[in-house]
Chain A
Amino acid sequence: MIHLEWRNLTSNRWLQISFLLLAGLTFLAILNRSYHLESYQMKIHDVRQAQSNEFQSFIADHDSITAGVKEIGNQRLNPIFPFSLEVRLVPQAVFEPTGLAPIAVGQSDIHAGIFPVRTFSDPVNKATVYYNPATDLFGSFDFAFVLVFLIPLLVIAFSYNILSEERENGTLQMVLSQPVSLMAFLVSRILFRFLILFVALLSVLLLSMLPAGVSISANIGGIAMLSGFTALYLLFWFGLSLLINLFGRSSSFNITVLLGAWVFFVLVIPTLLHVTVEKVHEVPSRSEALVEMRNAEEEAFSQDRDEILDRYFLEHPEFIEAAEGSTADEQWRELYEFYKWFYIVRQNIAEAVSPIVDDYYSRLAGQQEFARRISALSPAVILKEAMGGLAGTSPAHYNHFHVSAEQFRLEWMEFIRNKMLREQFVALNDLDALPQFSYSPENVNNGFSRAGMALLFHLLAVIVLIVIFRKKAGL
């Protein structure tokens, strides 16, 4: 029977053509994204190179100045003065996707992956990036699109008439005369088709990863997970097809219902979910936050300087003691005095706006969590989100990245401020203690187990319906 099935499928030229087309598209999608990933990694490399050059020249300057062989005109930029750190050693926040980044664009086309962290950066304004809104609107072509949108159509084309065809061709009697039950026949037929498609798809995927430079051994865990999600997704669509076939209607009826289901799960539900998320979990407007921040800034800078300093040192007497041990001479003292005020004001601003900033980021995370929860309604959304998670380009990853960058900004500012308030000079061994920006996609909760459960749930629901309708259909 399997032999017959195989002959049946291989003789269908339309299926062959559409499969080859999808294989080509998969190949193209993976190569396209890996090209972008490569040029992104080159940028990371350049930025790190530039940073290391800055660092070297900073150390060289520091050496020659402390040795007294070099003088610098602008004392604020003198490497021994803490302010020079933030000007000369601008840290960079660098986003890193996972090794499977070529499978899904996610939000990587929207956000800047690399940006300089400056102490005065606006905490809710994500870094400047030059963009073309039109390309972002249509979206880039990636494997997630092929798998989530196109493959179900192939599944449907592959299986919409597994029963109705037999009836329409008059071969149903022949099948019934065989020693297997019709149900067993249909299930084995569906599973056989699933296996063919799944193995073929996986092979195409792995084959396109080779020239794309995606290491299979290094990403074996992710690939296994992706295969699992894909299998569940394909089985869901095959199951749906079997279910519709059990109704015993015509092929034409089956296909309209199945494609209707496709439109429903892939196009309609996601847009309705989006509207719901927007309505239920609105993210606070950043322009409102902006106004608040500008107010805080104006207020902090317009207060009396001495008053600010007095109040601050009353609360932080440790800095007065620390500054007493300073080796700075009168000229430096003056500079330190100004910058003490400057960094205290900065700190006051940061503290004044931190509730707004925290609220913004936590509500953003809340929105993403809510979206993930209600996404369980559509297998298409679950799979797409899970693929973004595997690629390390999901909204949750970027949220984590931005929060890390903001935390790092505060740490970086605190480091310089502490040096300034203690009236300390920058020593070479301080450079080892500089706060380092760190971001790792591993720290993000991807909710893979929940995605797997949700996909499984959809599949089980279809299986339960099949069992129910099987009885009704008397098979």
Chain B
Amino acid sequence: MSLNRFTWSRFFKMCRRLEMVRRIAEKEWKEQLREKRYLAAGILMGLLFITALISSKAYYENEQHLRLHAQQGIEENWLNQRDKNPHGAAHYGIYLFKPESRLALIDRGVNRYAGTAFFVEGHVRNEAQFRKIEDETGLVRFGELTPAYILITLMPLFIILIGFNAFTKEREGGTWRMLQSHNVSMRKVLIGKWAGVAFTVLMLFIPMFIVMGLIIYSVSGFGEFSLTHYMILGAVYTLYYLIFINLTLIVSWFSKHSGTAFITLLAIWITATLVVPKLFVSAAQYFHPLPDTNTVTEMYREARAGGIDGHNPASARELERKVMEEHGVDRLEDLPFNFAGYRLQVGEEYDTKAYNYVFAHIRSAISGQDILIRKGSVLSPFLPVRNLSMGLAYTDVENHWDFSEAVERYRQDFVLYLNEDLMYSSRTGETYLAGSDVWAAKPDFSYELPGMGEVFRAQTGNLFILIGWVAFSFLALLTIRPTSGEG
């Protein structure tokens, strides 16, 4: 049949065919509206969503306020510190607080579980401290009320609720035979039911998504808010819903009773959203255990062994000789710079190298865990979506590490600046105290969120799995044999 030849008769035929589907869809949708349980569930979802949005916004603004306030306090601490040896100031250090992207309003991701304060000091690379979760009651472990929680965890339940008896009710009500006797194609019934459920889901999702977009748009904050970015996030959620609509209809088709269909679907839902993630986390912790503090200290000690210790002149005799030889002097005091500062900087580089080694080890254990957890995506469509949602909101683990690396680069500049000040503002053996002008001229820290391209590159795996799930579920839905409907 050639598709490019348009004839009116063919057009009307197609319209009639679609008309049937449309009617079934409409009937399905009207029935859903009439059912008070569904209406109540929809209203409850809406109310929860609004609560989540309001509390998320309040949380976000409060955190932002506290962060700015604390960062300002730290800045003042630093500027008002007493005159001291610049290296003393490197030990005093500063703190950098991680900003939240405004998209964190949708999905707070790991933010509550990752440290927010980075202590920037000489000699030591610190893991982020002040994890919000340390100050929490056990309640947050049940789930955090954020828009993402509603959209990713609860929305599938709503889909299940409105679709679980799409076919079983026909069977139980005896209308199944009637449909068959009227010679209605089962495929049309299927498509009609599908459209009916999808329409309801979108009617709930789209207003939510628009309101959320407006609120994020109105919030001033860190990070660009681009419409494309937001629309892609919306598309991810929609694809996720399609998977659950398909699964729901498949189960409803094959179940004899509505009750069985509902229990089966709920089992699928709880497996996908809670059981699989937890089981894979446990497996990850078993197969890739993270080193504890003592092991890390030991590793650091080993990596550091033999190098020059900035605080210990005895460890730098060789260096002293070499530097004096280079400058053609016999005494350190005759060098054009303060050797203590130079020694500290050389020592610092040894420290950095040792820390790079240690952190690479820790991070490789962590990425081993993450890779294993991601494998759970094959069993759970929830995982790729959760990861995509966090990734797109800049609240995933990758973003945390990205910031942490930026802080480490800054730490090296910061310490270098102070050591060089000691080196060039004084001579070996002199007592030198730096003052507020030195504190004021410290390097600035700035951090830019990665661009959209970079985020997508990092998320291709999750995107592929998600699309795989969509394709798989559609395939399964379409291979339902129309004649097997008798059940």
Interface residues of A, Cβ cutoff 8 Å to B: 14, 18, 25, 28, 32, 35-36, 39, 43, 46-47, 50, 106-107, 110-112, 114-115, 125-141, 145, 149-150, 153, 156-157, 160-161, 250-257, 259-260, 263, 266-268, 270-275, 277-279, 283, 285-288, 290-291, 294-295, 298, 301-302, 364, 367-368, 371-372, 375, 380-381, 384-385, 388, 394-395
Contacts and interface: CB of A to CB of B under 8 A. Distances in A.
Given A139-B141, A141-B282, A256-B37, A272 B157 contact: no
A153 B270 contact: yes
A272 B362 contact: no
B373 A138 contact: yes
A287 B67 contact: yes
B42 to A, nearest CB: 13
Interface string B156-177: 0100010001001100100000
12 contacts: A43-B294, A128-B127, A130-B362, A134-B396, A139-B141, A255-B258, A267-B142, A270-B142, A271-B144, A271-B149, A290-B70, A291-B74
A270 B143 contact: yes
B70 A384 contact: no
Contacts of B304: none
Contacts of B278: 138-141, 145
A274 B281 contact: no
Contacts of A43: 292, 294
Given A110-B133, A279-B55, A141 B294 contact: no
B309 to A, nearest CB: 14
Interface string B378-397: 00000000000000000011
The listed residue with most B CB atoms (<10 A of its CB), out of A18, A28, A32, A47, is A32
A150 B77 contact: no
A255 B262 contact: yes
A127 B292 CA distance: 11
A270 B149 CA distance: 13
Contacts of B58: 279
Given A106-B138, A138-B373, A287-B97, A130 B296 contact: yes
Contact of B113 (A25, A133, A273): A133
Nearest 5 A/B pairs, CB to CB: A291-B73, A270-B142, A252-B258, A287-B70, A133-B110
Contacts of B275: 25, 141, 150
Contacts of A278: 55, 59
B37 to A, nearest CB: 6
Contacts of B168: 252
Contacts of A157: 263
A149 B459 CA distance: 31
B66 A134 contact: no
Which DSSP category, helix, strand, loop or mixed, fits chain B's interface?
A: helix
B259 interface: yes
B277 interface: yes
Contacts of B153: 267
A373 to B, nearest CB: 11
B369 A135 contact: yes
B48 interface: yes
Interface in B234-280: 257-260, 262-263, 266-267, 270, 274-275, 277-280
B400 interface: yes
B294 A384 contact: no
Contact of A150 (B48, B258, B270): B270
B353 interface: no
Nearest to A372: B137
Interface of B: 37, 41, 48, 51, 55, 58-59, 66-67, 69-70, 73-74, 76-77, 80-82, 92, 95, 97, 109-110, 112-114, 116-117, 126-127, 129-131, 133-145, 149, 153-154, 157, 161, 165, 168-169, 172, 257-260, 262-263, 266-267, 270, 274-275, 277-282, 284-286, 289-294, 296, 362, 366, 369-370, 373, 396-397, 400
B366 A132 contact: yes
A267 B158 CA distance: 13
B145 A274 contact: yes
Nearest to B71: A287
B366 A160 contact: no
Given A141-B282, A251-B257, 6 more contacts: A125-B130, A129-B127, A252-B168, A252-B169, A271-B149, A294-B77
Contacts of B290: 130-132
A141 B281 CA distance: 8
Nearest to A43: B292
B66 A285 contact: yes
Contact of A255 (B114, B263, B289): B263
A395 B289 contact: no
The listed residue with most A CB atoms (<10 A of its CB), out of B259, B294, B396, is B259
A256 B281 contact: no
A394 B135 contact: no
A406 B461 CA distance: 46
A156 B267 CA distance: 12
A286 B115 CA distance: 12
Contacts of B145: 271-272, 274-275
B138 A385 contact: yes
Contact of B110 (A134, A274, A277, A394): A134
A288 B292 contact: no
Contact of B370 (A134, A251, A285): A134
Given A145-B278, A252-B258, A285-B70, A128 B293 contact: yes
Nearest to A287: B70
Given A153-B270, A268-B48, A291-B77, A32 B282 contact: yes
Contacts of B366: 132
